[in-house]
Structure 1
Amino acid sequence: MDYPDGDIFAGEVIGTAILILFGALIGAVLVTGIGLSLGGPTGYPINPARDLGPRIAHALLPIPNKGTSEWNYAWIPVTGPLIGGTLSALIYKLAF
């Protein structure tokens, strides 16, 4: 059966839109689930920039009566996700 070009184009547009929409929704639900289940001690423990950037800004900005930037703890939310990402890549590589 011959389909008009407009029908084929519409199918491509709709198919791609659904793929991207559901991919984004799954990603958002995944990040929310990880944050809610594992984020008690540190917040969302999957993004080193979420912790390191504000900590550097806090250390550099001249805020009166500010507390410590807690640099003795700063390595945990930075190296933890990096090691976790490396570990997941190794597991994926071994499994597939």
Structure 2
Amino acid sequence: MPPHGTARLTVQVLPFSAGMHPAVDGTFMVLGFPGSLDLDVAYLESQNGALYLEKKPQVARYNQVFDHLRAKSLNPDNSRALIQRRIQEIT
């Protein structure tokens, strides 16, 4: 775990070549609260507002979607290399 006050971030690019995926209909986040009595929550955003899903099967579904996206995405090193190439192309 990172020291207090710092964040750990993993960036993975999901390329267009990966094709259709189960999150194509909108953005979401799964909010986890380790060490807390609070349950995880799936947070969805749309043009009509936000929705918080708290039921375990609903949150589990979004965890599955996230795992699928991560598996179809480039690994962090290849993602970083792709981002760097794109930056070089536009500068």
> Aligning the two structures, in what range does the TM-score lie when normalised by the shorter sequence?
under 0.3
What is the TM-score when the length of structure 2 is the normalising length? 0.27
Comparing both chains, which one has the higher relative contact order based on Cα–Cα distances under 8 Å and sequence gaps of 6 or more?
2
Q: Which has the higher strand share?
A: 2
**Structure exhibiting the larger radius of gyration computed from Cα positions:** 1
What TM-score, normalized to structure 1? 0.26
